[in-house]
Structure 1
């Protein structure tokens, strides 16, 4: 098979999906040609400027406005603002010929078969043979689009269904037709996962493919359960949100975001196109949903759906929820169930899930009822929508943000209990489940030799999940390869002499147990291994130091104890930096405060592209105290070049911490100074991140790793820098941009970064800066306003500005 390289991509259609898919291809380094239709005539603004339909600005208005709207939306579809320059815009009439130069053409126009066929007929005029061509349809059968197309077109064509927003939702469904060449299917699967960072799932050309078929079934089943069990929409969202390992938007808020019209459209399509589906009747739209559609209460796009945001007479925001019986909006109510209260303290999702199903209240009943139906539904979809059960789990996890797929949940509950739930729900299981049990198999997944296996109902045996053969998986290694652990951390042997330390505290915060884990893992690695990776499978890498612990010590005025705790943290970070083995940190999502400091002291960071990294201590009235302030002073010194305008450079570095800036992607973390150009790297695939981090540790070890020397020649600016920082802080305070207390913190940070009150530029050691940093940190903890900020965060989770 010849090598295929994707340098340039054409996206046809610049709507919500098209413009955002264009941004994601730009994110990974591709050049993008984004095209859309011509407007029918100039608008009033254009006419007032004397522009006509011949003017380029008018001809490209639709595409340019769509792209601008995407680029200014929040959260941003682009990793770094400058990446938008990789996207060129145009229109179907003037620029279609340019698709002859691209490597892949993706159609993202309106969901109408006739329009898609017109676009493809036009594409055939200009597409060069061998170019990939795909459609982002979410519902139209893929094979119907091939009418009248050439053999070469058919061979290279497939469905590539991205989920919105394409940057953040990892699912990419690949739907080949009978005509798609096998090597082309393989290419789509591989490029999607390695380069675009997606969870690629191979689907059959069945209505709504995999994720939406099961996801929409799940939502429609819930609509009916709400009526049967007399539940409110707030109750259902509480039961189907984070407690179950699902997004905060849960069920009804998700419907509002997606749009009720879209949901009804898919449900109607399934009702019509799946006559043999045993749950066909469930796709009937309930009367309350139909009424909402008739009223144009479609969700976020019409400013009201199941929820509505409004303001009261005092101008305060009020959240209203729809009462499904009266169809009136009422103030949203807090919800509580005894079962949920019992599981509050359980962080481990598997343990919590078991408890939820044991509940003797309405919540427990709800879980048993809904999952009985779900287990039956997914087993009956094999082999209709997929030959393999793991694809159904993968699609729901990556497309709907579920942490556990249906088959994984069933495994947690136990095979027998899952079957009982199905029977109680009055549903039937397919023959293959009974055959599986008769053969003595009572789990859908198992791990063996560090690999995850699934039950293949065709071969009636366990097989490695395809595509994971060469991936390093903590989930698969944890049970068999544990080397050491305490209540907050686990040390796992990844093979080839590399260890992995993972945290499992709440939000992966760093307290005494994690510090012990870091020191122990370095000690063990130095004795018997080649290197260490620090990574975990939590929702976030680390939300930083344990603020509650700092607050307690500060509130009790136990300053010696606090000083000792900060010194222990600093010493641990320095141990990471100067150990005799390479230490690689692989952060993802939030890496704040101490999580950021840990990354900054590693030999190399292998970051996931979705990285929200920052030194945010300022918000709780402190400065970074785990080596972060020192590290910024050190990096400032390393960046100083002859003739550099030192003060501008110092200001940039100072503001990253002083404004508690958090990167919106790993690429932005380089701009803010948290990641190092030339040393640290970014991986777009979360699934591949640990494999790459392990390889990076081995590369450094096999080169012959020598620990770096402790830094003694760091240039600090002393009074020259302090003057600038003090003047800057004073003017910010005078202009009411910061409070008096913010000014105090700014001056403390400046004191550390400039090396204190030195009369000239001076060379100092790292230890000198660490001592200054720790002293400033402890002094700030003695300030009443810092205590108030710490207390606010600990008790309410809110940042206080005082």
Structure 2
């Protein structure tokens, strides 16, 4: 096993500094070197970068900066040196000639190049370094993009490659793909081609930028940034460099021509409009006369920025309504290709991309699974090209290509001749992929428990209303929320109570987790607003009682409960985690009780949990008064703060002893299951049926309300914010009781419910709910 006790990054530009930040995220001390004070500048930029590259701002203390010449000798202390200087071969070779002097046995040296050959970079180095040299291409920003492409050179020792891959996977939480030493490797080769295909089809079919964005984002199984948002994020200069790298290094003139620089991109680059790094590219963020941020889009005809427009197309609307995931949406657009120009555009982009990916199979990567993983992890595609081939039907797609006069790629034609009609095969939850004439088994790792696989193997205990209780093995069950948009409604709450009853009778413990993008974004706001506008107060009261009963069932369950959230874990989502004995956060968990943002307060035990947590903190610190720890939680809830990572939940006050953050998301459910078994082995203490919480009472409520008044006068709260925060203060402190009074759990539940109901009747709160449903944003009224 290769252990990195200390690492170094050479080059403090955006890429190098971000890599250093992610090493710091993983707890690895890092030396950031550059010339003439540039390392200090790079470190300073990290502090202001949005979204933040660090899980916790305190982690920046793990990075030490230095001068390449003055501090060169310190490289001898490092186990891993990552070169991340500018993407110019001569510059990189100059750095590597110096690193050759610093190399020592056991040290790995890598280049974070996006497409240059490691053999050419390390050509002048000695045998020792060349055997431990490779590309480790971190996709930027490293915190948020999962992919690391590892590319060995001709002389690279196999054990070094495997050690680096294992370290990147297990310590840095990365998805590692081994690529061949070809121009732009895998993800940038396919990704750049797909972007070029969209640009060409846009011109052919006369689409606007906004229309192109509408059909190359989620409807195509790609991120919200779609085509032009992605180009702006990458940087147009970087994109042109990627195109040039392929164009100048592939032997096929037709392929080289396909990577010709698009004239529109060149025009913007010549003006210095490079995308986000320069303040604008295809999109520019501006401030309106009212001080509101707005995004304007480039009009290529006039080269002026104009208001954005919504794409209108029957085919697009049909695609959005399709229920079969990405394949269903794409199929709806393909079916409309003869009568709808957006459909014709999508047909060209999809066909071009699928053909190119299949043609590159065996050249840029050995197997389809490597290419698919690279595109999912590096470009955030929901499905890689070969997964999309399968979803659309390999034979059906080949027939469509032939009908359009397009050649079927040789690997696909050879596969179909053998009677094989899919790149992947799933047998009872075991996955196989097609390679060189036969199917190969995708090795399962015991530490990677997949709920999808467990479901395929018939391990569902029950399923209802967008939830499933699944057998994880060893008599541990997992409750998975699978509701659309991750909103948690009455059906999900009923499943919580049913799961608690089932686990108490037959199982050793319960895990709360899912594999969707978000754990839970809160209650069903549309249902809640409808009931409030109709004055159905009894229905809202019943909904809150059911939520509280669900939370109580989890807290009282005489079996260990471990929550393993990821993504947005807000409002009700957070409240369902808080009764757990332990929370194992994914690194990218955005956790918080944010109900005040829509003019409400937590009413599913969130206030109860916060009051109890503050009292526990006071007891641990030997404090008679819990005002100080409660104030921190009050501010987080009153200001609707949401953590920027799993680690950041600690800053907001939600962290408890035993909670942890898991760097590698694939092991989250396995670790949660093990935590359940560990809690049981230690001798699990059955929770008391009706706990009492010593609350702050009138005295602490007065302190919190003074803080609200100060924030109101300072302009940090509106009058309605202050009204909501005042009710929150009363609930958190137990109502009108003396300080230190031990109130019942039910008493705090009642206070939560009464305050919630009264706020639901407020017109300003209803306006906030409507605004959130219409725009997805908060209204400060």
* TM-score normalised according to structure 1 size: 0.92
SS of residue matched to 2:53: coil
In structure 2, distance between residues paired with 1:194 and 1:337: 45
Equivalences for residues 575-724 of structure 1 within 5 A: 575-641=553-619, 642-643=622-623, 646-676=626-656, 678-703=657-682, 705-710=684-689, 712-724=691-703
Which of 245-254 and 532-541 deviates more? 532-541
How far apart are residue 278 of structure 1 and its match? 5.1
The answer on whether the counterparts of 1:379 and 1:429 sit within 8 Å (CA) in structure 2 is no
Distance 1:577 1:356, change over 3 A: farther
Whether the 8 Å contact between 1:299 and 1:307 is mirrored in structure 2 is yes
SS at the partner of 2:248? helix
Q: CA deviation at 1:469?
A: 6.1
Quote the Cα distance in structure 1 between the aligned partners of 2:697 and 2:289. Answer: 54
Of 547, 551, 556, the match for 1:569? 547
Measured after TM superposition, the shift of residue 753 of structure 1 is 1.2
Residues 195-214 of structure 1: pairs in structure 2 closer than 5 A: 195-214=171-190
Name the structure 1 match of 2:510.
532
- 1:334 is matched with 310
- 1:688-712 deviation digits (Å, cap 9, x = unpaired): 2222223223333455544322353
Q: Using the TM superposition, give the Cα deviation of residue 612 of structure 1 relative to its aligned residue in structure 2, in angstroms.
A: 0.9
Q: Counterpart in 1 of 2:744? A: 765
Q: 1:82 to 1:302 in 2, by over 3 A?
A: closer
Q: How does 1:358-373 map to 2 (within 5 A)?
A: 358-360=335-337, 361-373=340-352
Segment of structure 1 superposing worse, 562-571 or 736-745: 736-745
Tell me if structure 2 keeps the 8 A contact 1:515–1:569: yes
- TM-superposition CA deviations, 1:228-277 (whole Å, max 9, x none): 11211111111011222321111012112212111111111211101227
Alignment CA distance shift 1:788-1:327 (3 Å) = closer
CA distance in 1: counterparts of 2:411 and 2:719, whole angstroms? 70
The 2-side partners of 1:393 and 1:212 are apart by 12
For residues 189-242 of structure 1, the C-alpha deviation after alignment (integer angstroms, 9 at most, x for no partner) is: 111111111111110110000000000111112221112112111111110112
User: Structure 1's 365 and 526: CA in aligned 2 closer, same or farther, altered over 3 A?
Assistant: farther
**Equivalent-residue separation in structure 1 for 2:401 and 2:445 (angstroms):** 31
Is residue 2:54 matched to residue 1:75?
no
Which residue, out of 7, 32, 44, partners 1:9? 7
Q: Which residue of 2 aligns with 1:47?
A: none
Deviation by residue 1:769-795 (Cα, 9 ceiling, x = unmatched): 112211221122222322222222234
TM-score by length of 2: 0.95
1:133 corresponding residue in structure 2? 109
- Structure 1 counterpart of 2:255: 279
> How far apart are residue 302 of structure 1 and its match?
3.3
Q: 2:300 is matched with which residue? A: 324
2: CA distance, partners of 1:548 / 1:563: 16
Cα separation, partners in 2 of 1:502 and 1:314, compared to 1, 3 Å: closer
1:172 equivalent to 2:148? Answer yes
Residue aligning to 1:56: none
2:268 is the counterpart of 1:292: yes
- 1: distance between equivalents of 2:56 and 2:108? 27
Q: Is the 8 A contact 2:633 2:654 kept in 1?
A: no
Q: Structure 1 residues 424, 495: closer, same or farther in 2, change over 3 A?
A: farther
- CA distance, structure 1, for counterparts of residue 631 and residue 285 of structure 2: 40
After alignment, is 441-450 or 215-224 more displaced? 441-450
Checking the alignment, whether the CA contact within 8 Å between 1:141 and 1:205 is kept in structure 2 is yes
Residue 597 (structure 1) shift? 0.7
The answer for the alignment partner of 1:45 in structure 2 is none
Choose from 323, 330, 334 the match for 1:357: 334
- Write the distance in 1 (CA, Å) between the matches of 2:472 and 2:774: 39
On the 8 A contact 1:369/1:425 being kept in 2, the answer is no
SS in 2 for 1:557: coil
CA spacing shift, 1:661–1:311, aligned 2, 3 Å: closer
CA distance in 1: counterparts of 2:773 and 2:679, whole angstroms: 40
State the match for 2:218 in structure 1. Answer: 242
Partner SS state of residue 322, structure 1: strand
C-alpha deviation, 1:322, in angstroms: 2.9
Deviations 1:581-634 (A, max 9, x none): 322221111111011111111122221101111100111111100100110000
Q: Which of these residues, 332, 340, 362, is aligned with residue 383 of structure 1? A: 362
Equivalenced residues, count = 775
- How far apart are the structure 2 equivalents of 1:222 and 1:628? 47
Equivalent position of 1:741 in the other structure: 720
Q: Is the 8 A contact 2:481 2:492 kept in 1?
A: yes
Taking structure 1 as reference, are residues 467 and 490 closer, same or farther at Cα in structure 2, changes over 3 Å only?
A: closer
Q: Which deviates further from its counterpart, 647-656 or 439-448? A: 439-448
Worse-superposed segment, 654-663 or 299-308: 299-308
Q: Is the CA contact 2:359–2:411 (under 8 Å) kept in the aligned structure 1?
A: no
Hey, what's the Cα distance between the residues in 2 that align with 1:430 and 1:64?
50
Answer yes or no: is 1:265 the counterpart of 2:241.
yes
2:69 is paired with a residue of what secondary structure? helix
| Residue in 2 that maps onto 1:451 | 430
Give yes or no for the alignment of 1:188 onto 2:127. Answer: no
Is this contact kept in 1: 2:361–2:411, CA < 8 A?
no
Indicate whether 1:409 and 2:388 are aligned: yes
Give yes or no for contact 2:354–2:389 (8 Å, CA) kept in 1.
yes
Deviating more after overlay: 734-743 vs 15-24: 734-743
C-alpha separation in 2, matches of 1:700 and 1:451:
31
What do you get for the CA RMSD once the two structures are aligned? Answer: 2.1
How far apart, in 2, do the equivalents of 1:511 and 1:620 lie?
17
Residues of 2 paired with 1:312 and 1:712: CA distance?
53
Which residue is equivalent to 1:149?
125
**Corresponding residue of 1:94:** 70
- For 2:507 and 2:146, how far apart are their aligned partners in 1? 34
Q: Which runs of 5+ in 1 are unaligned?
A: 39-60
1:729 paired with 2:729, answer no
Note the C-alpha offset of 1:447.
2.4
> Secondary structure of the equivalent of 1:495?
coil
Residues 309 and 606 from structure 1, CA distance in 2 versus in 1: closer, same or farther, beyond 3 angstroms?
closer
